[in-house]
Amino acid sequence: MATKGGKTAPAQSSEDENGLSVAYLVAYNVCQMIGWTFLMIKLIHHMATEWTVVGLYDEVATFLNIFQTAAVLEILHCALGLVRSNVVLTAFQVFSRVFLTWAITYSVPSVQNYYGVLLFVTAWTITEIIRYSFYFFSLLGGVPYFIVWCRYTFFIVLYPLGVTGELITVYSSLREVEEKKLYYFPLPNAANMSFNYFYFLIFFMIMYIPIFPQLYTHMLAQRRKVIGNIDKPKSQ
């Protein structure tokens, strides 16, 4: 039979693996879409009923911690070739958010009622709903123009908004971090190394200065490339 000749069987196996990969990625993106949508609903409900950022973090923390941490899987997706994205860039973007989620907002309770949290959670949530919707429709074979437009337009406001919220949150954490010596490892110790989390956070904020303009201008260039190609009239 042809399937035993070494040609048809491998092709079928490859198709099966590709089908499983697509099915997994569809499930992953749907779960993320649903998770971030529920987070948005809770955020809107809290702000509409309470009219204050106080208590907002407690409302959204579970969804934020679970679904932002789950994004670590996207690094694995890149490494395994399931998606065509740069592993290093993806790892940087994911870990910077995971860091802010756990090492700042979760670990430093005093920042949880600052407006910085409202800003970056709002920006992240809208961005992720759009992004995972984009990936979902891409896997199905076609992305509606509205979602393409949203993905390559909303960042113009959302990215600076998110960065502002992130910087406010990190800056607001400095006092508590210094007072509690949080994640502070002085000498002498077995590793013969010291670490001052307070100074690390200052360095972390300074790194926004060179990185933010580069990423922002890159995304503006991507918008011109993608939206421009879609809107460009086709030759007769």
Q: Choose the catalytic residue: 59, 106, 115, 159.
A: 159
The runs of H, that is alpha helices, within the chain are 8-50, 56-70, 73-80, 87-98, 115-140, 145-151, 155-180, 197-206, 208-231
DSSP helix, strand, coil percent of the chain (3-state; round to 5) = 80, 0, 20
Is 50 labeled as catalytic in the residue annotation? no
Amino acid identity for residue 170 in this structure: V
Q: Which SS3 state, helix, strand or coil, does residue 185 take?
A: strand
Given 28, 114, 166, 197, which residue is catalytic?
166
Surface-to-core class of residue 99, CB atoms within 10 Å of its CB (0-12 exposed, 13-18 middle, 19+ buried) = middle
Catalytic residue flag (residue 106): no
The Cα 184–Cα 233 span in angstroms is: 59
**Residue 134 three-state SS:** helix
Catalytic residue positions, numbered: 159, 166
